[in-house]
Amino acid sequence: MQRDCNEVWQNCLDFIRDILPDKHIFETWFLPLKPLALQDDTLTLKVPSMFFLEWLEANYIGELRAAIKKELGEGGRLIYSTAIDSSTVGQDVTLPSKDRLATQNTPTAIPMNMDTNVKDFPNPFVIPGLKKVKVNSQLDENYSFDNFVEGACNRLARSAGYAVAQNPGKTAFNPLFIYGNVGLGKTHLVHAIGLETKQRYPDKTVLYISAEQFFQQYLDSVKNKTTNDFLQFYQMMIDVLIIDDIQFFANKQKTQDVFFQIFNGLHSAGKQLIITSDKSPAELSGLEQRVISRLKWGLSADLTIPDAPTRVEIIKRKLQKDGINNMPEDVIEYLAYNISTSVRELEGVLISLLFQSSINKSDITIELAKELIDKFVKSTAREMSIEYIQKVVCDYFSIPVSVMLSKTRKGNVVAARHISMFLSRKHTNNSLAVIGSKCGNKDHATVLHACKSVQNSYETDRRFRSDLDEIERLINE
Ligand code: ADP
Ligand code: MG
C-alpha cells in the first residue's frame, strides 16, 4: 500500500527534530520544506530556493539521509524540487539593479518619553520629523549582493548572510559574526545583507554603523548627558543592527559596557545583530570575556582571499558594472593572478590602470599592468603562487587549468601537472601536501614522484629541457 507523503515527511521531521542540537536549526532549515509526492520509495520535497537546497546539502544531508532511510528503508530516495522564486535573487547576476529606495528606513514611532523633545533628538542618524522619526540606515547601494562575487572564500558568510536577510532575528545566526583581514569584503557583505533585508522587509529599521562612529556617539552622549537616549535609541528603534570593525572597541571599557547592554536588549527582543571584525572571536584581544562570549552565540564565518578564478570574476563584474568592455582578457588574468593580497588592492590597481590608460590615451596592456603592480602592490603580493604557476604552465601547453586539475592522463596534461608541481616546489614555500591538494587533489608522495620525474626528464630529454626553461623564464618575467 502506498503511504501518504505528508505522513512520511512528518515522521522524518519528528526524527530530525530529535537528533538536531538546536530547535532554531530545525525551524530554519526543515520546517520550510514541503512534501510534494511519494512514488515507490522516492519522496519529493519542495525546497524554497537553490540557495536553501545547497545549504541543506552542505550541512544537513546526514540527518536527511538518516531520516529517509529510517522511513523508507535502504532503497529510500529523495528528490528536491525548487521553484524559481525571489529568494534566488541574490545569486543571479543578470537581474536588474535593486530598487533605489532600498536603503531608506520607513519612519518609526519614537518611544514615548522622547516625544516631547524631537527637535533635540540626540542621535545623529535620526532625521527629526513631526510625529515619527526616520533612522538613516547608512547603507550603500553599491555594496549589493549582485555586486558581490561568490567563491569558496566567502560561501559560508555569504549564505548565512543571505539567510539572515530572509529572516532577520529568526535564524540560528544571531549574532552573525563575520571576520577576515582588511580588504576582503566584510564591509561590502554586511551592506549587502542590510540592503537585502530592506528589500524583503521595507518596514524593518536597519542601521549600519562603524564601531568608531558608535564609540563617538557614545562619547557625545556622555558629554551631553544623554546616554539614556542613546541606549533607548538602539534598543527600541533598531530591528537589524550592523556594527562594522568591532575590534575598535578593544580596551574601551565603557563602550563595551553599553554595547553589551544593547546587545542583550536587542537579542532578547529577537532583533538581528550583524558584527564584523578583523579577527576571529578567539583572537580578539582587549575585549571583555562576557562580550566575546556573546559574539560566539550565533555563527562566526570568515572571509579569506578569493582564489585566482574568483579574482578574475570580481574584476569582470566590476568592469561590467562600470560599463567598461575594452579590457583585454590577458590583462584581466594577469592582474588576478598577480595580486593575491586583498580585493581592495586588486581594485586599486584596476582603477589606476584605467586611469593611466585614459590620461595617456594608451592601450591597456600587460606591460602597463605590470608597471602599476610593481609601483603599488606590496612586494609580498608578487610572491609566486601555485595558481600563477599553473596558469603559466597551462597557457604554455594550451590546455585549460581545469583540465590540468582533472584526472585526465592524456598527452601534455600529465606533463603540465608534473611541471606545475615541480615549479611550485621550487618557487613557493608550500609543503608537498598543499601543492598536491592544489594540483588536482594528489597526496604528497605523488608530488614527490612528479618532482623526481621532472628532474629526470630534464636531464635526459632535450626537448623537455627547453620547454621547462622557457616556462621558467615566463613565470619569472
Ligand atoms: P573589508 O571591509 O573586509 O576591509 P571591503 O568590504 O571594504 O573590505 O572590500 C574592499 C573592496 O573589495 C570593496 O570595494 C568591495 O566591493 C570589494 N570586494 C571584496 N570582496 C568582493 C567580492 N566577493 N565581490 C566583489 N567585490 C568585492
Ligand atoms: Mg571594512
Pocket test for ligand 1, best of 147, 150, 188, 277 (most atoms within 8 A of CB): 188
In this prediction the pTM is 0.64
**Which ligand is closest in space to the CA of residue 154?**
1
75-113: burial string, b at 16+ Cβ within 10 Å, e else: ebebebebeeeebbbbbeeeeeebeeebbbbebbebeee
**CA dihedral sign, ordered 84, 88, 91, 93:** positive
Distance CA 186, CA 178 (A): 7
Angle formed at CA 238 by CA 235 and CA 240, multiple of 5 degrees: 120
Report pLDDT for 93.
22
CB atoms within 10 A of CB 6: 12
Say how many Å lie between the CA of residue 302 and the centre of ligand 2. Answer: 13
Q: At what angle do helices 411-427 and 462-476 cross, to 10 degrees?
A: 50
Provide residues with CB under 6 Å of ligand 1: 147-149, 154, 180, 182-188, 314, 343-344, 347
Pocket test for ligand 1, best of 344, 349, 350, 351 (most atoms within 8 A of CB): 344
The DSSP element (H or E) to which 207 belongs, if any, is strand 206-210
Q: Where are the alpha helices (DSSP H) in 90-205?
A: 155-166, 186-200
Q: In whole angstroms, how far apart are CA 463 and each of 326, 327, 398, 424, 457?
A: 38, 36, 17, 21, 9
Cell of 445: 608522495
Reference 438, options 475, 391, 371; nearest CA is 391
Beta-bridged to residue 244, according to DSSP, are: 210
Say how many Å lie between the CA of residue 352 and the centre of ligand 2. Answer: 21
DSSP conformational letter for 442 = -
Report pLDDT for 414.
93
* Contact predicate 304/285, CB 8 Å: no
Beta-bridged to residue 77, according to DSSP, are: 42
Report pLDDT for 41.
84
Q: Which tens digits make up the pLDDT trace of 307-345?
A: 999 999 999 999 988 888 888 998 999 999 888 889 999
Distance CA 45, CA 67 (A): 13
Report pLDDT for 371.
85
Q: 85: left (phi > 0), else alpha (psi -120 to 50), else beta?
A: beta
Report pLDDT for 97.
25
**Which ligand is closest in space to the CA of residue 246?**
2
Say how many Å lie between the CA of residue 189 and the centre of ligand 1. Answer: 8
**CA dihedral sign, ordered 335, 341, 344, 349:** negative
Distance CA 315, CA 347 (A): 8
Cell of 384: 609566486
DSSP conformational letter for 281 = G
Report pLDDT for 372.
85
**Which ligand is closest in space to the CA of residue 245?**
2
Strands (E), 278-362: 299-302
245-270: burial string, b at 16+ Cβ within 10 Å, e else: bbbbbeebeebbebbeebbebbbeee
For residue 107, say if its preceding peptide bond is cis, omega within 30 degrees of 0: no
Distance CA 16, CA 64 (A): 7
CB atoms within 10 A of CB 450: 25
Per-residue pLDDT of the chain (477 residues; tens, 9 = 90+): 568 999 999 999 999 998 887 777 788 788 888 898 888 888 888 877 666 676 777 778 888 888 988 888 888 888 877 654 333 333 322 222 223 345 667 665 444 333 333 334 455 565 554 445 678 999 999 999 999 999 999 999 999 999 999 999 998 899 999 999 999 999 999 999 999 999 999 999 999 999 999 999 999 999 999 999 999 999 988 999 999 999 999 999 999 999 999 999 999 999 999 999 999 998 898 999 999 999 988 999 999 999 999 999 999 999 988 888 888 998 999 999 888 889 999 998 998 888 888 777 778 888 889 888 887 776 544 557 888 899 999 999 999 988 999 988 887 899 999 999 999 988 887 888 889 998 888 888 999 999 999 998 998 999 999 999 999 988 887
Reference 388, options 450, 313, 438, 315; nearest CA is 438
Cell of 135: 533612522
Q: Which residues contact 131 (CB under 8 A, 6 or more apart)?
A: 109
Phi/psi at 20 (5° precision): -80, 145
Distance CA 242, CA 85 (A): 27
**CA dihedral sign, ordered 322, 327, 329, 333:** negative
Cell of 14: 519528528
For 171, half-sphere exposure in the C-beta direction (CA atoms, 13 angstrom radius) is 23
Q: Which tens digits make up the pLDDT trace of 369-420?
A: 988 888 777 654 455 788 889 999 999 999 998 899 998 888 789 999 999 9
